[in-house]
Each structure stands twice: as C-alpha cells, then as structure tokens.
Amino acid sequence: MAAGKGTRMKSRLPKVLHQLGGRALLHHVVDTATRLNARSAVVITGHGAMEVEASFDHFTLGMNGFSLKFVRQEPQLGTGHAVQQAVPALADDAVVVILSGDVPLTTADTLQALIARCAGERLALLTIAFDDPTGYGRIVRATAAPDAPVLAIVEHKDASEAQRAIREIYSGIMAVPARWLKAWLSRLDNRNAQGEYYLTDIVKFAVADGVPVVAHRITDAAQVAGVNSPVQLAELERALQLRQARALMEQGVRIHDPARFDLRGTLRCGQDVEIDVNCVFEGAVELGEGVRIGANCVIANVRIAAGAVIQPFCHIDGESAGVDVGEGATVGPFARLRPGTRLGRGVHIGNFVEVKNSALADGAKANHLAYLGDATVGERVNYGAGSITANYDGANKHRTVIGADAHIGSNCVLVAPVTVGAGGTIGGGSTVSKDTPEGALVVARGRQVTIANWKRPVKKAPPAQ
C-alpha cells in the first residue's frame, strides 16, 4: 500500500519516496518482498502515482521471475479499498503478504515467520504490544490469556474504553490466502467512525467463516514503525544505521561510534577495518584488509585496497566511473578524489589536493595544494605544491602525461595536451605548454633579474605654503 498522502511530511514529494539510508522508503519494502521468493509484488499507488511508479524505472522489472506490478487507487477510501484494487493482480493459489510502503524496516525473517504461521490456510497478523497504543487497531481476543483466539481488530476511533486499554496492536502487516482475502474484501463496508473501508474488518469475517486467525507477536518496534513525519523519518534512519553498523561490527569492522556512522548503500569490508566517527558511505564501497578511515569523510563508489589510510575530512566520490585507491596509499587530510581516479600502490595524496579522471602509478606523490585532471602520472613522480594541470581549453579536455620519476616543482601549470618526459624536472613556477624531453630540466618562467644597490623612490616633500 503506497497510495496515502503523507500530509504530516509537509512535503511535495510523495511520502513513500522519502529517503532512508539513501533509498526510497517504498524501495526498502519492495526489496524485502524480493527476498521472500515472491512471484510478484503489487504496488498500490494513488497520491503522486506517476512519480512513485517512475521511481522504479531503474529497477529490473521481472528479475529472477519476480514481477513488479502497479495498480492505482483513486480516490483513497481506506486500506480495505486499497487492497481491493489489487485483487485482479492476485493469483487464487497465492499467499498474499500485505505491507505498507511507509514501514521500511520489517525484516525478511519476520515476514517468513509470518508466512509460516499463515501456512496457506490461516489469517496471520503481525502484532506487537505498545505501552501507548493510541491510534492503532487493537487485537481483540476471546479472553485475556495471551494466546486466546483472536476475534477482531478494532480501530482506535471505533474502540470502546475497555478495548482502548488493550496494548496489543495490529502492525498493518498480514499474510493471508488469496482466495479467502478476495472473498472477504468483497464483503467490506464503510459503516465505521472514519467512513472508510477497513482492511482490518476481514478478521471478523475469518472468524465467521471458521478460518483460524493467528497473531505473530514480535517485540522489535522498529520493524513495524511507520514514517508519518520528518521526526519519525529521522528516528528510523538512526534505527537503520544502528542495525547496519551492528551487522558490520559483528563481521569485525571497528566502528568507533555506531551512533555517528552512516551507510547509504553497500559497504564490503576486509579484516581489521577501522572507521572513525562521522563518516558517510554511499553507493558501492569496498574497503580492503586493514583500511583505516579517519573522522568526517564522505566516501562513495570507491574501492580502497588493503592497508590504505584515508585521513580525516576527505571527500571521495567515484560516481559511475568509480575511484580506486591502491594498496598502502594515503589520502588526505582534506583531499578530494573525483570520478575516474586510479591510485597505485603507496601513492600519497595530501591536503587540498584534487584528482579527477587521472591515474597515478605506484609511489607517486602529490602532497599539497594541487590539481590533477585528465592526467597519467608515472611511478614515483613527485608533483609539487600548488601545481595544476590546465586540462580544459574552454571547449575540450586534454590529457597530461608525466613520465616515471619526473619531478614537478611547485606552482607549475602543465598546459594540456602535454607530456613531461620520464626522469625530467620542471622548475618551480613554470608554465609548460610544450612536451619536455626525458631527463631534462625545464624552466619556463621569467628570468630572475638582479639590480645591485637599488634605490627605492623617496616620497617628495609637500610644496611649502
């Protein structure tokens, strides 16, 4: 169900498209569905339907025999009415798991257990006990015994004082045989406090038809928590991040403070990886054995090989081209690596150095205040402070090639396309626009002029009055 408006988000964006851990809420839910070996998922859209459906463009529809279908619910007349729209898309022999697009953290394990309780013939409800159950549908049982038969779900607004005292609530998630679901949906009406078609009314039909109703009660509130407001979104973000951090720590990753860790994608780590506080990982990130990440780094779409160290305050984003950091390399503090950066073994990138679409071979160094764009840099090159590649002529980008063991002095401009020969030296302050031979010293700057005993002009005295 993803048709609701989400008024309390106070946003133009449909609620189910708000991001949690770098993905839309609804995509978390659909992703969980794919892990249930389901034949298909049916997404019920309404508010912002076009946008919600379009958000799946990148999704491989029909992967592994799993198909994603959309049905529209317009207008929105309640959860029972929502599921009625999906009826034509449901096979009679199926078990249907009903999920909410704004409840992102239910685990596949929990849903498998719920499906097992349904066993193709029962109505299985996911429930939880809350100290404050205000607003939720209450699980009404035959007696006060915790395992007494379930008789009905009564919505908060329709509940009596005695029913409002019930702490066990319906999570909004159920597993139900399709043939029964279809029969019960056709019997719903909207004679209730909200004038809506309540999905939850099917419980009393199940009881009347002699179909067993079972409650699968869990204790982890995050798994049934919905997002209705920015505050709840932030709470669930932290719950997701703690869950991800814990899973990584269980694999041996040393996260200095799981409360200050953010993963918005996938992070694969070798042994003995250490991550300091306030780091954000996005897209696909791989950290090899013994990699250390300093505090306050943003690291996206990058592979960092064993033993490399990222000092604090680095921004590394490979976007679609990726970034590779070689074994034992050191980067930062305050470095920026952009798409297409390939650093070899033992490369050093220091503070205020920007690298884009450039390969630095083993042992090359750019330690301070430099720019390398569209460059091929040989082994052991030393690239001086303040030097840049002028790779853009205002219309096109050009390459700079620096041969192995070259030494580029400070404050040089390498005007691409240009090649610096292997083993050559470029004097500080040079603007190099022609290729330079191997092994040569090239100086391309104004000669130093010396005038001995230079007398500075003296200020004239003001004219006498």
Residues in contact with ligand UD1 by CB under 6 A are 1-4, 44, 46, 73, 76-79, 81-82, 100-102, 136-137, 153, 155, 169-172, 198-200, 226
d(CA 275, CA 293): 5
Contact between residue 391 and residue 398 where contact means Cβ atoms under 8 Å apart? yes
Task: Classify residue 169 by its DSSP letter.
Answer: E
Structure tokens at 377: 């840099």
Catalytic residue among 156, 256, 315, 368: 368
Question: Given the complex with ligand UD1, which of 102 and 405 has the nearer CB atom?
Answer: 102
d(CA 329, CA 325): 7
Structure tokens at 372: 């390398």
Question: Given the complex with ligand UD1, which of 48 and 363 has the nearer CB atom?
Answer: 48
Task: Classify residue 302 by its DSSP letter.
Answer: E
Structure tokens at 337: 């690596």
Question: Given the complex with ligand UD1, which of 198 and 383 has the nearer CB atom?
Answer: 198
Structure tokens at 179: 């043939």
Question: Given the complex with ligand UD1, which of 194 and 271 has the nearer CB atom?
Answer: 194
Contact between residue 414 and residue 449 where contact means Cβ atoms under 8 Å apart? no
Residue burial 266-278, b: 16+ Cβ < 10 Å; e: rest = ebebbeebbbbeb
> Is 368 an annotated catalytic residue?
yes
Residue 153, phi-psi category: left (phi > 0), alpha (psi -120 to 50), beta (remainder)? beta
Question: Given the complex with ligand UD1, which of 168 and 354 has the nearer CB atom?
Answer: 168
Sequence-ordered alpha helix ranges (H) in 97-229? 108-118, 161-164, 178-185, 202-208
Structure tokens at 162: 């005695």
Direct distance between the N- and C-terminal alpha carbons of the chain, in angstroms, rounded to an integer = 93
Q: Are strands 95-98 and 168-177 parallel, antiparallel or unpaired?
A: antiparallel
Q: How far is the CB of 237 from ligand UD1 (least distance, A)?
A: 18
Q: How far is the CB of 50 from ligand UD1 (least distance, A)?
A: 16
Report which of 423, 432, 441 is spatially closest to residue 379, judged by C-alpha positions.
Answer: 423
d(CA 26, CA 48): 13
Q: How far is the CB of 398 from ligand UD1 (least distance, A)?
A: 53
How would you class 382 by CB atoms within 10 Å of its CB: exposed for 0-12, middle for 13-18, buried for 19 or more? Answer: middle
Question: Given the complex with ligand UD1, which of 111 and 377 has the nearer CB atom?
Answer: 111
Q: How far is the CB of 27 from ligand UD1 (least distance, A)?
A: 14
Structure tokens at 281: 């990982």
Question: Given the complex with ligand UD1, which of 106 and 311 has the nearer CB atom?
Answer: 106
Distances 26 to 4, 19, 30, 58, 96 between C-alpha atoms, Å: 12, 9, 6, 14, 17
Question: Given the complex with ligand UD1, which of 202 and 420 has the nearer CB atom?
Answer: 202
Report which of 71, 84, 86, 79 is spatially closest to residue 173, judged by C-alpha positions.
Answer: 79
Q: How far is the CB of 317 from ligand UD1 (least distance, A)?
A: 33
Question: What angle (nearest 5°) sits at the alpha carbon of residue 99, between those of residues 94 and 104?
Answer: 140
Question: Given the complex with ligand UD1, which of 68 and 343 has the nearer CB atom?
Answer: 68
d(CA 438, CA 298): 39
SS3 230: helix
Q: How far is the CB of 115 from ligand UD1 (least distance, A)?
A: 19
Q: How far is the CB of 170 from ligand UD1 (least distance, A)?
A: 4
Active-site residue list: 368
